[in-house]
Amino acid sequence: MRVEALDMFWTDKGRYDLAEKMFHEVILKVSERNHCSPLVSEIAKAREHIQNSLEKIDVATLEDKCRLEFLDRISLLENQNIDLRSQVSKLNQAYSDVLKRLDLVENRLNCSNGNVKNNDDDVDLFASESEEETEEAARIRESRLAAYTAKKSKKAVIIAKSSLILDVKPWDDETDLQAMETVIRKIALDGLLWGASRLVPVAFGIKKLSISCVVEDDKVSIDWLTEEIEKLEDFVQSVDIAAFNKI
């Protein structure tokens, strides 16, 4: 075989491929290093700028700001303290006034009780009739007895009364509630006093009449009053006692 023919074959292809791979890897690393360098440089500049800005902060300015905030808080606390002291002073004054009024009322009650006791002591209900009693002494004693009896009889008699609220229900929504109230108020008796009234919704457009009254227990029977109202059959279906209080 001739030497020229041997030169046509590539016997070291593997070595050439390895050399080409290493060449491209070096080129890639250099390219990546050149690409990242501007970003790293910008980050470094930003850090330097922040550091310079922090170093330039005026410490005295911060101290003045803190001092002003502290003074404002102290001023607020002082104002609140003044208001609190004022409120406490007013409460103490009001309490003192109440105590003075209570003392005044107590003194008046003591004086009143003392006068009543002295007046009662003047009446000798069990005075012995002495044989030596003069006509003038007998007249004075009888006069005092009469005055004492009159005084006792003048005491007001307590009249027991009751306050009622009656719920009067009509037959239907066509019942004339105003006319029903009129006939109810016509029920009159010594010791019966009618009061205010109002219409209260029940259901389905029907309303009931709620009417108040005051009765003297010895003169007016509640059962009698409800029966008298129920006798008004043209208007009234039923009567209920919604409220009952002693006066």
- For residues 136 and 106, give the distance between their C-alpha atoms in angstroms, rounded to a whole number: 40
Higher pLDDT, 19 or 192: 192
Q: What is the pLDDT of residue 183?
A: 94
Q: What residue type is 214 in one-letter code?
A: V
* Per-domain boundaries in the chain: 123-155, 161-246
Q: What residue type is 126 in one-letter code?
A: F
Q: What is the pLDDT of residue 154?
A: 62
pLDDT digits (tens, 9 = 90+) for 84-125: 888 888 888 888 888 888 888 888 887 766 555 555 555 454
Question: Is residue 218 scored above 80 in pLDDT?
Answer: yes
Domain 161-246, CATH number (from 3.30.2350.10, 3.30.300.30, 3.30.70.60, 3.40.50.720) = 3.30.70.60
Average pLDDT over the chain, rounded to whole?
A: 78
Q: What is the pLDDT of residue 38?
A: 63
DSSP H helices, the chain, are 3-6, 13-55, 59-122, 135-153, 177-185, 222-230
Q: What is the pLDDT of residue 152?
A: 67
Reported as a pLDDT band with limits 50, 70 and 90, residue 159 is confident
- For residues 82 and 85, give the distance between their C-alpha atoms in angstroms, rounded to a whole number: 5
Higher pLDDT, 157 or 233: 233
Q: What is the pLDDT of residue 33?
A: 56
Q: What is the pLDDT of residue 160?
A: 84
Among the residue ranges 24-38, 145-159, 184-198, the one predicted with the least confidence is: 24-38
